[in-house]
Amino acid sequence: MNKSVQFRDLGLLDYQLAWDEQERLFAEVVATKLANRNQPAALKQPTPNYLLFCQHPPVYTMGKSGKLEHLLFDQSGLDALGASFYRIHRGGDITFHGPGQLVGYPIFDLENFFTDIHRYMRLLEEAVIRTCADLGLDAGRIPGLTGVWLGYREGDANPRKICAMGVRASRWVTMHGFALNVNTDLRYFDHIVPCGIADKAVTSMARELGMAPDFSVVARRMQHHLGELFEAKFSNREAVSSL
């Protein structure tokens, strides 16, 4: 079991380029796993794990279970906003990515950690919950809804999502991941039904705190909590950029 994770900060990167890089790394991990099948134990190569952090120019992405009617305008509306749109093969519905949002893409071979997708999702959520707590925000889960929320307790009048999640896994290798609203322009969410949930709001750390937190601090705390929860050791650590 290889719990070493190669961390890379991709900065502000076009969504297609980031997706291509995910696919490249995903294919590398899967190819290593397949090659190991035909090797004696002494010759098997450890499968690598990667964690990519980035921000994207404005883009809407829709998962394989998404409904097109949850995008509330057409191509001309996208053009007017300067945003792009992609249908992708993660789980979940539609969401927005943009500057000021910490997007994380773990490409993990879960056989290096545990073979449980439900546990994997809960640990991603837990890392976000702990990161929010570091900034003084009380975040948590709403039963039956993936992601991380404020106002999440039963009876709270205004539940609002601060982090969306959607993943794909094949042969126990993951890709896609989470999108934590740090200082995101929330007006972009007005043009979609976020995650297909019409009766709940979207928020950001900046809105909740009344000020924009240091993006690099949020990113470092998120990386720390992911490492702690997955008992991972990061290598090739690079400075996290901020906008």
179 neighbors 164 (Cβ within 8 angstroms): yes
Q: Which CATH fold would you assign to the domain 4-235?
A: BirA Bifunctional Protein; domain 2 (3.30.930)
Catalytic residue among 54, 132, 163, 195: 195
Note if 163 is an active site residue: no
Using 50, 70 and 90 to split pLDDT, how confident is the model at 242? very low
- 93 CB neighbour count, 10 Å cutoff: 20
Please determine, for residue 103, whether its predicted confidence score (pLDDT) is greater than 80.
Answer: yes
Using 50, 70 and 90 to split pLDDT, how confident is the model at 50? very high
Q: How far apart are CA 97 and CA 177, in angstroms?
A: 12
Q: How far apart are CA 65 and CA 197, in angstroms?
A: 13
Using 50, 70 and 90 to split pLDDT, how confident is the model at 68? confident
* pLDDT value, residue 166: 94
pLDDT over 70 percentage in the chain: 97
- What's the burial of 135, exposed, middle or buried (CB within 10 Å: 0-12/13-18/19+)? middle
Q: Where are the domains of the chain?
A: 4-235
Mind listing the pLDDT tens digit for each residue in 163-188?
A: 999 999 999 999 999 999 999 999 99
Mean pLDDT of 31-56: 93
Mean pLDDT of 41-54: 93
Mind listing the pLDDT tens digit for each residue in 124-138?
A: 999 999 999 999 999
Amino acid at position 161, single letter? K
Tell me the torsion sign for CA atoms 40, 32, 119, 213: positive
Q: How far apart are CA 149 and CA 151, in angstroms?
A: 6
Comparing CA positions, the residue from 215, 117, 213 lying closest to residue 170 is 117
